A and B are shown apart, each in its own frame.
Chain A
């Protein structure tokens, strides 16, 4: 089916592309705009609609004529109509802007394109300079290696995008309007506003992102200037960064812990983790209970686990652009005001679930409490720590003694990623208040994280819904034995039937 769809998409591209600008009708554009766009982008097209306040990134201000995703020359303020058409049709991943192709007709989109240009008084302007793509360099290990070198040379790209491309910031960035911006985490292709195809990355590197501090690397005056060929290498390298196992897969909802002999890995750097199965979950900001939180910095968390006869150990990994250490001056410079500690939490039901009825996924409920194991990174004065609480809802969190329950932890921050190991014995003495782990049972599990530099504290955080944890029992001989028994029984039964029939005939 996927193949049919891609074949069909290819056919449409071959037959239909490039999209040709049909002359727009501004009156129709206005009508569509008022029904579909105004609520975020505002009546005046200034990005100040009633929805704007709670959006991150904020809606585009069309009156400023800053077109971030465009394919005309870096110095040309006028975009191609196709650029606007594409953004409306396909939307912008990682933002609240959806693709409109299923609701709007092609002509309606062209009408909108014209109407948007009127906000910037560009309706009569034509772009003067087109982007030069030269000859595309196909991706290859050599090209990627060259791109990697160019990316890191004199900190050309890594200055903002980080050593591993995670956008771990070393300086504060802002857009032309003065709003805070963060460099793109290049390992998260689902947040690329256009796409992570090399051609789109080449375009961004060549044009820059107007209105932001992402510069043009085709600029003759720049010390960091790259040739066309070099830009293709960088594009290939950046695309390769997105090939990570840490992506959300809707069909992958279980953290599978394999049983191992001997001690469990106690630190994130232990090599044993490399063989553990990993599962990545989507995180959403806490927009459910008061005070709702809208502008999260993180969107995924990856979990792996192991267990042995005594304990279970989890490794949690999540990208965080900043190591937030309250009290630290360097950290404060980059953080938003009111910095908190970076933190992460695992949530598990105290009692096994029956009939699939789980506790409320936001910190449990009255009838079904949850265990919350929260690790915090510490401050200049306090060391990192792991804490235990039992939750019956966000209003009813009861702090308990994590040490008594046997919780231990170890965390490391490196190049834009936190990695934290949390361990606990399978059984505790307080069987009424602590989860008791059982081999082979599917147990609900949920996660939460706080990015201190994004002012995430207390109820301002990101969380997941319930997923599953399974302590996978080691392979056993039972299935083979049962299979053989069933085969023999059936064979005997059939033989007996045939023999009986034969005996009857002879009589």
Chain B
């Protein structure tokens, strides 16, 4: 049996809509803000409309049942029912929309804002694109020394970072729940595994206040670590982050 085009379109929209709700609200346990859902659905509706009206024939098939409902004299009863229900629904929707919403404003943010090409810290300029972890080469040249630096990084981490980023580097330290945005989870494949060490150096040395304007709302609680740690300590803690999680930093060299 062939499903009518109009029903197909409605079904696709319904599946996508409830799909979003299923993925965000149920599976991810992260209620999707209604304004965001509206925005997504706007693009979905536009897309579905474009696909279903791609040819003249399919357009006719799509709008056919609607035209028939309005114009066909034999469909009088169902027409009367629809003509009462539709305006009522629209009225109800308008009422709901114009009633004040007390949902807090949605805060969209860039997770990894693009780094600047150069940054200032410790009173000097760094070329972020060329910047490399000076201790990284020891991994091959002097493994014993390298291990010492990793251990020193672990010490820096446990004395300074775990309060937010957690003992397990999973972004769930004792104070994580009180911060917004929540601290980065280094165990997640989407954080340090995707970044270069120079990026981490930039984020650590300049902290939340060092974020560029496009990273707004600018409320990251990350301290400005150049005020507390030496340059070497930052490079050491970066070594530790990769060592503990088992990830490799990204580098331009291999790509």
Contact = CB atoms under 8 A, between A and B. Distances in A.
Interface of A: 1, 35-36, 39-40, 49-51, 53-54, 95-98, 100, 102-103, 248, 250-251, 253-254, 256, 281-285, 287-290, 292, 294, 299, 355-358, 360-361, 365, 440, 442, 464-466, 468, 470, 472-473, 478-480, 482-491, 494-495, 497-498, 501-502, 505
B151 to A, nearest CB: 10
A360 B70 contact: no
Given A98-B172, A253-B104, A287-B223, A501 B95 contact: no
A357 B217 contact: yes
A494 B93 CA distance: 18
Nearest to B98: A479
Nearest to A353: B217
B227 to A, nearest CB: 6
A488 B83 CA distance: 11
A464 B178 contact: yes
Interface stretch (B48-56, B159-167, B188-196, B197-205): B159-167
Interface residues of B, number: 58
Interface in B75-96: 79, 83-84, 86-88, 90-96
A483 B92 contact: yes
Contacts of B71: 498, 501-502, 505
Contact of B102 (A254, A289, A464, A498): A254
A254 B103 CA distance: 8
A491 B173 contact: no
Nearest to B89: A487
A50 B180 CA distance: 28
Interface in B141-181: 154-155, 157-159, 162-164, 166-168, 170, 172-175, 177-180
Contacts of A482: 94-95, 98
Contacts of A440: 100
Nearest to A472: B102
A102 to B, nearest CB: 8
Contacts of A282: 177-178
Given A358-B217, A483-B95, 7 more contacts: A1-B26, A40-B158, A98-B172, A288-B223, A357-B216, A440-B100, A483-B98
B218 interface: yes
A288 B221 contact: yes
B167 A465 contact: no
The 8 closest A-B pairs by CB, nearest first: A487-B91, A483-B95, A51-B158, A282-B178, A501-B71, A284-B178, A491-B87, A284-B175
B218 A357 contact: yes
A97 B70 CA distance: 68
B30 to A, nearest CB: 10
A78 to B, nearest CB: 27
A440 B86 CA distance: 31
Given A49-B158, A51-B158, A285-B175, A294 B163 contact: yes
B219 A498 contact: no
B87 A494 contact: yes
Contact of B228 (A95, A290, A356, A361): A290
A299 B175 CA distance: 9
Nearest to B103: A254
A479 B95 contact: yes
A361 B167 contact: no
15 contacts: A1-B26, A50-B158, A97-B167, A102-B170, A281-B178, A282-B178, A361-B219, A365-B209, A465-B221, A482-B95, A484-B91, A485-B94, A486-B87, A491-B83, A498-B70
B255 interface: no
B107 interface: yes
Given A54-B159, A100-B168, A490 B90 contact: yes
A483 B94 contact: yes
A97 B162 CA distance: 11
Contacts of B172: 98
Interface string B213-230: 000111101010001100
A283 to B, nearest CB: 6
Contact of A95 (B154, B158, B174): B174
B105 interface: yes
A472 to B, nearest CB: 7
A468 B95 contact: no
A227 B95 CA distance: 61
A498 B159 contact: no
B57 interface: no
